[in-house]
Structure formats: structure tokens, C-alpha cells
Amino acid sequence: MKPENHPFSELSPDFILDAIESRGFRVDARILELNSYENRVFQIGIENREPIIAKFYRPDRWSQDQVQEEHDFLLELASNELSVVAPISLGDTTQFKAGKFMVALFERRGGRTPLIESESSLEILGRTLSQIHNVGAAKPFLYRPSIDVDDYGKSSRSWLLEAEFIPINLEKQYENISNELISRIEDKYSKYEAKNIRIHADCHLGNILWREQRPHFVDFDDSRNGPAVQDLWMFLSGSVSERSRQMTHIIRGYLDFREFNFGELALIESLRALRMMRHSAWIGKRWDDPAFPKAFPFFNTEKYWVEHLYQLSEQLEIIEEEEEGISLNV
């Protein structure tokens, strides 16, 4: 698809401002595009009030019911006084159509990307996540998907092998490694049962604003059913001992408000591998969007796939060698 024919090419300044004004806002023509690949997100200047954030969803990714489940989850969390950025209610709805786009509006929230290193910050993070999960556990998503081996692993592998992004000389190696990796992950899932609840599912430091001594979670676009540990492990970094220290304090805080299934710790490396596989397929599926070649210029090169295969091989070794996952001192 040529860039000028991509759906997001329709988002001219006039189109964006007309969409916002159609909901009763008086815009002042200030538009600032924010950093977002999956959707398009803009800060819109509004006369006589703070700017708002307008999110134009990628066409054909989510259904109206799936978007509404994201919004309803955010509204539930906000009603429980949890620190999330919920969509603005527009009469009896939180979304509207503008051309082929579903659109939602949000209040602008300030904050900084956190440096979560201290024990107290890690425990605050754990306490907040446990309260989010308490709400998430009340009922499942009915329309949004789940994190599982079929969706993240098998479908990603199949799509990549059919899409001809992987160099021919590396296809067989990718097929062999991915097959073996999926088999080992399935073994882990069968051994360590995890209960799926509604989770953020894309919980990393880029999706947190830290202010007033607590985290404010943003971007629930990828929210789905999954194990609680998925929202914890992506905050870990550094050596094995450092990751163990970080997770110890996150779970100490988590236990203040919710029980934690320690068996899920054994799934961390499997979840990491599934995310790696899905990430590559995600970039490939979006390659006709001009934003993606700019953001991931090395994706469509042999060097990328050599490194990706090396990373998958490393994950396979880790999963084969580990027993019960990261050790803690809770």
C-alpha cells in the first residue's frame, strides 16, 4: 500500500479539528502529534481550557465492542479511585466515529517517565498494580482477546513465514527454533497454571507517568485477558540478582492488596518469548504504515533476522534451563 493510500493519510489538520469540533469543543487550531505507532494520538488546543488528547484508532484493528471494553475497564478503575487516564464521557458514550476512525478523547495529564529503582517506588508500583488487578479480576473481557500461545506464538510464526519478510536462507532456521520454542512454552503453560484476568498487558515504563509520588497508568489500548505476572515482569531490568530484588519489592507491595500466584513466576521467560515473536509480526503487519519503516528501519534486513533468531535461541535455552523462575525474598 502506498503511503498516500494508507488510512492514516486522511488525518489532515482540518479533518482532525472537524472531528473534535463535532463533539462540541471549540478548538484553537493547535495540534501536536504525540508519539504513537499503533494509533494516531494528538494534543488538541481548546479555547479557554486545557488541551485534550484525541486518539484516532487504527481502522480494522479493534471492533467497537472491543474499544468499549477498554473504555469500560478504564472507567471502572477510575471509579475505584485508581490512577489511570479514563476517556472523556461524551453524553452516553466514550467513543465516536470520524470517517473510518473510531475516536476517543482524554484529559491531558502531566508527569515524568519514572526511574523506579528505590524499594519504596517498587512497592508503590506493586500496590497500584494489585488494586488494578482486583478490579480486573471481577469479570473477564468478552470481546478482547487473551495472551496465549496460539495468538502470540503460533499465529505470529505462521504469519511471518507466509509474509516473506524472513530471508529465504533463514526461513528454515526460524521455523525450527520457533517450533521448538512454542513446544517448550506449551509445556510450561501445562505445568504452571495461571488464571487470566483483565490486565493492562503492555505495562512498561513508557506507559507510566509518575507524579505526586505515585504511578499513573496510560495507554490501555492493548489491554486483554492474561496472567497477573504479565503486568509485572516488564518493569524488571539488569542482572538476575537485580531483577530478583526488583520483583521482590514489587510483590511485597502487591501483597498488601491482593494475593499473588507465585507459580506464575515460572512463566516470565515464556511470556517474554511470546512478546518477542508477536513484536516482530506486529511490525511486519504494519509495514505499509509509513510510521513503521521510519521507527524500525532495520526490520526488513537480514541483520535484524539474524539478531532475532539469536534472541529466540537464547530464550529457548533459558526456558529449558530454568525451573521455577525468578527467586524472591518476600
Tell me what pLDDT residue 3 has: 52
- Given a contact cutoff of 8 angstroms between Cβ atoms, the answer to whether 227 and 256 are in contact is no
Tell me what pLDDT residue 329 has: 65
CA distances for 131 relative to 122, 212, 223, 249, angstroms: 15, 18, 16, 16
Tell me what pLDDT residue 110 has: 76
Tell me what pLDDT residue 29 has: 86
Q: Give, in words, the CATH class of 119-321.
A: mainly alpha
Measured distance CA(225)–CA(142) in Å, rounded: 9
pTM value?
0.93
* Burial classification of residue 176, based on how many CB atoms lie within 10 Å of its CB (0-12 exposed, 13-18 middle, 19 or more buried): exposed
Catalytic-residue membership of 202:
yes
Measured distance CA(200)–CA(186) in Å, rounded: 23
- Write down the catalytic residue from 148, 219, 231, 289: 219
Architecture of the domain spanning 10-107: 2-Layer Sandwich (3.30)
Measured distance CA(41)–CA(54) in Å, rounded: 6
- Given a contact cutoff of 8 angstroms between Cβ atoms, the answer to whether 128 and 114 are in contact is no
Number of alpha carbons in the 13 Å side-chain half-sphere of residue 131: 21
Tell me what pLDDT residue 88 has: 96
Tell me what pLDDT residue 27 has: 94
- Supply angle C-alpha 138, 125, 203, rounded to 5: 70
Catalytic-residue membership of 151:
no
Mean pLDDT in consecutive groups of 10 residues from the start of the chain, 330 residues: 71 96 93 91 94 96 97 97 93 94 93 75 94 98 97 97 95 97 95 93 90 87 97 91 93 97 95 97 95 93 97 95 68
Domains 10-107 and 119-321 share a fold: no
- Write down the catalytic residue from 18, 65, 150, 202: 202
What residue ranges do the domains of the chain occupy?
Answer: 10-107, 119-321
